[in-house]
């Protein structure tokens, strides 16, 4: 079992844990409370090599991959820490690390945590409540579409054009954004699960009306209703001191949302979680 080194609780109930494994490696895991249940955000690697410009985890280079058992340890450690009547109802592999850079272990974890034989009927999380989030490793998206159980896929998109995305996320130089969206469409068609595109709104970087129109255009396909396959999660940014980046103003965020909706793209404007405890990944370990 992983040891809890520290725990921070936000005003909105978000709990952020710093855990340590037997070899001394420390990772973060975050529990978010929603109206629909408790969602655990699991880390898949200690550190990350993907180098996304807005991410605190990218400042801490990958030390090693986590095993399926270690990811399961995150689940059980937090489960035990909750009061008896509280259960983890949802799992998102969206913490530190690129899950598809550690594909086999992440898939094993998803299979284990959703298996009532391993977890017991009460603790097991249904596959439809498990989401894996990738920065855009296309071959693994296609592989993930063929797994026996159907899990949800989220794609960290954050920019609608190659020019901007190349600057924000180096992975885009290998897997361009239009190909990425096509692979997500294939995933959705094959699994019958709608794919979530995560989009951090960064002040003056990716939040203009032009960006919103370009995003709508990217997600539109002739003859298809994109909302059958995709939706966009607009996310407020938890600032990271080292980067000098700021989240978009509320008015700008609402305008971006309106443009998408008018163009027929289903979007949600996510509530900030745990901003007072710096819940963006890597921030606790950096401290």
The contact set with ligand SF4 (CB under 6 A) reads 48, 50-52, 55, 57-58, 96-98, 135, 156, 281
Q: Which is nearer to ligand SF4, 131 or 226 (CB)?
A: 131
Q: How far is the CB of 276 from ligand SF4 (least distance, A)?
A: 21
Q: How far is the CB of 272 from ligand SF4 (least distance, A)?
A: 17
Q: Which is nearer to ligand SF4, 98 or 211 (CB)?
A: 98
Residue that has been written with the tokens 């993930």 in this structure: 144
Q: How far is the CB of 191 from ligand SF4 (least distance, A)?
A: 22
Do residues 54 and 158 lie in contact, with contact meaning Cβ atoms separated by under 8 Å?
yes
Do residues 167 and 174 lie in contact, with contact meaning Cβ atoms separated by under 8 Å?
no
For 89-144, what is the HEC assignment?
CEEEECCCCCHHHHHHHHHHHHHHHCCHHHHCCCCCCCHHHEEEEECCCHHHHHHH
Q: Which is nearer to ligand SF4, 37 or 51 (CB)?
A: 51
Both tokens assigned to 281: 């990944």
Contacts 24+ apart (CB under 8 A), 59-65: 59/242, 59/282, 59/286, 60/96, 60/282, 60/285, 60/286, 62/97, 62/101, 63/25, 64/25, 65/97, 65/101, 65/102, 65/105
Q: Which is nearer to ligand SF4, 21 or 281 (CB)?
A: 281
Give the C-alpha separation, 153 to 133, whole Å.
Answer: 6
Work out whether strand 37-41 and strand 90-93 pair parallel, antiparallel, or are unpaired: parallel
Q: Which is nearer to ligand SF4, 119 or 164 (CB)?
A: 164
Q: How far is the CB of 183 from ligand SF4 (least distance, A)?
A: 16
Give the C-alpha separation, 278 to 151, whole Å.
Answer: 28
Q: How far is the CB of 248 from ligand SF4 (least distance, A)?
A: 18
Both tokens assigned to 252: 């700008």
Q: Which is nearer to ligand SF4, 58 or 239 (CB)?
A: 58
Which three-class secondary structure state does DSSP give residue 1?
coil
Q: Which is nearer to ligand SF4, 55 or 267 (CB)?
A: 55
Q: How far is the CB of 192 from ligand SF4 (least distance, A)?
A: 26
Q: How far is the CB of 135 from ligand SF4 (least distance, A)?
A: 4
Q: Which is nearer to ligand SF4, 55 or 265 (CB)?
A: 55
Backbone angles phi, psi at 68, to 5 degrees: -55, -40
Q: How far is the CB of 48 from ligand SF4 (least distance, A)?
A: 3
């Amino acid at each position: 079992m992983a040891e809890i080194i520290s725990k921070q609780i936000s005003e909105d109930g978000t709990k952020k844990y710093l855990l340590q494994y037997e070899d001394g490696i420390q990772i973060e895991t975050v529990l978010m409370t929603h109206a629909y249940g408790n969602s655990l955000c699991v880390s898949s690697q200690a550190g990350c090599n993907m180098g996304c410009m807005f991410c605190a985890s990218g400042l801490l280079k990958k030390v090693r991959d986590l095993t399926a058992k270690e990811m399961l340890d995150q689940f059980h450690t937090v489960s035990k820490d909750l009061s008896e009547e509280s259960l983890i109802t949802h799992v998102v592999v969206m913490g530190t690390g690129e899950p598809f850079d550690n594909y086999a272990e992440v898939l094993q974890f998803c299979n284990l945590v959703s298996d009532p034989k391993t977890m017991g009927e009460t603790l097991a999380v249904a596959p439809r409540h498990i989401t894996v989030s990738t920065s855009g490793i296309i071959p693994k998206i296609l592989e993930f579409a063929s797994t026996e159980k159907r899990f949800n896929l989220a794609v960290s998109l954050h920019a609608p054009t190659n020019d901007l995305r190349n600057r924000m996320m180096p992975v885009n130089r290998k897997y361009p954004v239009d190909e990425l969206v096509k692979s997500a469409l294939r995933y959705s068609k094959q699994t019958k699960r709608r794919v979530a595109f995560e989009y951090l709104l960064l002040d003056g970087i990716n939040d203009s009306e032009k960006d919103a129109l370009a995003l709508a255009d990217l997600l539109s396909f002739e003859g298809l209703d994109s909302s059958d396959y995709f939706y966009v999660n607009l996310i407020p940014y938890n600032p990271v001191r080292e980067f000098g980046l700021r989240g978009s103003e509320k008015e700008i965020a609402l305008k971006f949302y309106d443009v998408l909706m008018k163009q027929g793209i289903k979007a949600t404007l996510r509530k900030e979680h745990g901003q007072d405890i710096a819940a963006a990944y890597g921030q606790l370990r950096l401290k």
